[in-house]
């Protein structure tokens, strides 16, 4: 497994840092606030509870396809989907958390969105800039 040694100079590193910051903001401030102040907003709560899986899948996709060398989008997508299903299943036994299909759907949506952006926009700009 080889790393891009100049990854810190590229745009995707800043995207990972930004998404990680938003992940922490959602987990430690936004979700507890909505849970206490607006307990009847079930749709918003479902979205906010699945947002960490969505953001985490995007972060993993960017990391695997941009920082690790030799991995394409299909390998990254398959790994992330399998990882999210296994992560949800293992959490049932280890952390006593209920299995949530919304988290798996959020991970799959994030992988599809990341792959579409990667194929439609980023690959074209990289090819045209060479």
Where are the domains positioned within the chain?
A: 2-129
How does pLDDT run across 14-59, given as a tens digit for each residue? 888 888 898 889 888 888 888 888 888 888 888 888 888 899 898 8
Segment 92-117 mean pLDDT:
87
What is the pLDDT, as a whole number, of residue 5? 57
How does pLDDT run across 39-50, given as a tens digit for each residue? 888 888 888 888
CA–CA distance, 73 with 119 (Å, rounded to integer): 9
Of 19-23, 52-56, 68-72, 108-112, least confident by mean pLDDT is 68-72
CA–CA distance, 111 with 59 (Å, rounded to integer): 10
């Amino acid at each position: 497994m080889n790393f891009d040694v100049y990854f810190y100079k590229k745009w995707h590193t800043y995207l990972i840092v930004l998404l990680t910051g938003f992940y922490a903001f959602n987990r430690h401030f936004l979700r507890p606030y909505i849970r206490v102040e607006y307990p009847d907003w079930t749709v918003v709560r479902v979205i906010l509870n699945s947002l960490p899986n969505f953001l985490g899948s995007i972060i993993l996709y960017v990391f695997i396809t941009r920082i690790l060398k030799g991995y394409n989008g299909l390998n990254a997508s398959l790994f992330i989907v399998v990882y999210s299903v296994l992560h949800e299943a293992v959490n049932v036994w280890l952390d006593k958390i209920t299995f949530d299909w919304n988290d798996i759907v959020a991970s799959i949506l994030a992988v599809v969105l990341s792959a579409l952006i990667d194929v439609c926009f980023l690959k074209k700009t990289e090819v045209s800039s060479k």
